[in-house]
Amino acid sequence: MRSRKVITTVVLGLVCSVSLFARTGEDVYEEICAKCHIAYIAEDKIEQNFSEYSNTMLKLKAPPVSQIALAMKQKLRNPDLNDKINRLEVSAFIADYIIYPDRKKSILDPKISKYFPTMPSLKGKISPEDIEIISNFAYDFDPKAYAKKSVANLPFEKVLQKAQREDKIILIEAVAPHCRYCKKMQEETLVEPSIVAALKKDFITLTVDVSKDELPLDLNVHMTPSFFFIFPHKGSDKVKIKRIPGAWSKEDFLDILNESVLAKKNK
Ligand code: HEC
């Protein structure tokens, strides 16, 4: 027993020291900034989230890195100057802002920043080395590369065929990364044994993160979480859709599931 403990400690020690030396911008981002800043959200989703839905759709805690990178490009970079000088300019801005955040210095579009409180200072929470690493990460940030990384293909056609075949209802849960009620729903309601059993019996479930992926059937959400019940018809491509927005208690959600099953039987 004792020798195993020693080995674990040694292995852990190794892993830590290795990652300390090879710390990348992504490591620092994940460890410190990702609590609030999502890396990438498509431009049209951002637009929709703020201008149409006042941030209820994605419930962002902070502007995404892609948006900050865009603002830095437009406001801090000077195309007439060389890359080295531009990099210094951007680094200086970030190094200063994260320690002494102040709205007066903001480079963000006020149409977006008005939805957020001023960023809390990271003074004492980030080392000078990490500040330099994260500044370069932000300067080099390539939204397209991130977009590619996060695209999950949703084989909805397949899901639909399966639902038709098994005579099941498709239940889509639309969520967003920092959505507190999505988490509450997933951790409190959707784990309830009676709900798990009901879902297993009559439903095929899909979770779609609307900050990254499109909903099928041209569905859209104006708040998360939102639930879509999709009732397929046997032998036809037509579907009936019921939309239920919001987070629900176990009792209420079980009622909703039961009603959907009844509705399917009575159609
Ligand atoms: C506790 C949440 C939180 C954390 C952690 C956080 N930020 Fe922020 N940040 C915000 C919020 C909220 C805003 C928008 C309000 C503002 O601009 O002050 C913001 C804005 C920014 C801006 C834009 C400033 C402007 O208005 O022009 C930059 C740059 C930034 N953050 C960098 C970082 C970096 C780099 C990290 C990680 C090292 C980080 N943030 C960690 C919450 C956070």
Question: Ligand 1 site: residues with CB under 6 angstroms?
Answer: 32-33, 35-37, 62-63, 68, 94, 97-98, 101, 106-108, 113, 116-120, 122, 126, 134
Asked whether residue 5 carries a pLDDT value surpassing 80, the answer given is no
Binned at pLDDT 50, 70 and 90, residue 7 comes out as very low
This prediction's pTM:
0.64
The more confidently predicted of residues 142 and 170 is 170
Q: Which of 84-88, 143-147, 215-219 has the lowest mean pLDDT?
A: 143-147
Query: Atom 20 of ligand 1 has which residue's CA nearest to it?
Result: 119
Q: Tell me the CB-side half-sphere exposure of residue 59, using CA atoms within 13 A.
A: 18
Ligand 1 centroid–CA 49 distance in Å is 19
The CATH fold of domain 156-265: Glutaredoxin (3.40.30)
Q: Which positions ≥6 away from 96 have C-beta within 8 Å?
A: 105
Per-residue pLDDT tens digits for 12-34: 434 433 444 567 888 898 889 98
Query: Atom 3 of ligand 1 has which residue's CA nearest to it?
Result: 36
Query: Atom 42 of ligand 1 has which residue's CA nearest to it?
Result: 119
The 3-state secondary structure of the chain reads: CHHHHHHHHHHHHHHHHHHHHCCCHHHHHHHHHCCCCCCCCCHHHHHHHHHHCCCCCCCCCCCCHHHHHHHHHHHCCCCCCCHHHHHHHHHHHHHHHHHCCCHHHCCCCHHHHCCCCCCCCCCCCCCHHHHHHHHHHHHHCCHHHHHHHHCCCCCHHHHHHHHHHHCCEEEEEEECCCCHHHHHHHHHHCCCHHHHHHHHHHEEEEEEECCCCCCHHHCCCCCCCEEEEEEECCCCCCEEEEEEECCCCHHHHHHHHHHHHHHHHCC
Would you kindly state where each structural domain of the chain is located, as residue ranges?
Answer: 23-150, 156-265
Ligand 1 centroid–CA 136 distance in Å is 15
Q: Which of 7-11, 217-221, 231-235 has the lowest mean pLDDT?
A: 7-11
Pocket test for ligand 1, best of 36, 89, 116 (most atoms within 8 A of CB): 36
Which pLDDT score is estimated for 86?
A: 92
Pocket test for ligand 1, best of 26, 27, 119 (most atoms within 8 A of CB): 119
* 172: β partners: 206, 228
Let me know: does 71 contact 108? Beta carbons within 8 Å. yes
Let me know: does 267 contact 232? Beta carbons within 8 Å. no
Average pLDDT over residues 61-66: 91
Query: Atom 21 of ligand 1 has which residue's CA nearest to it?
Result: 119
Ligand 1 centroid–CA 62 distance in Å is 7
* 242: β partners: 229
Ligand 1 centroid–CA 222 distance in Å is 25
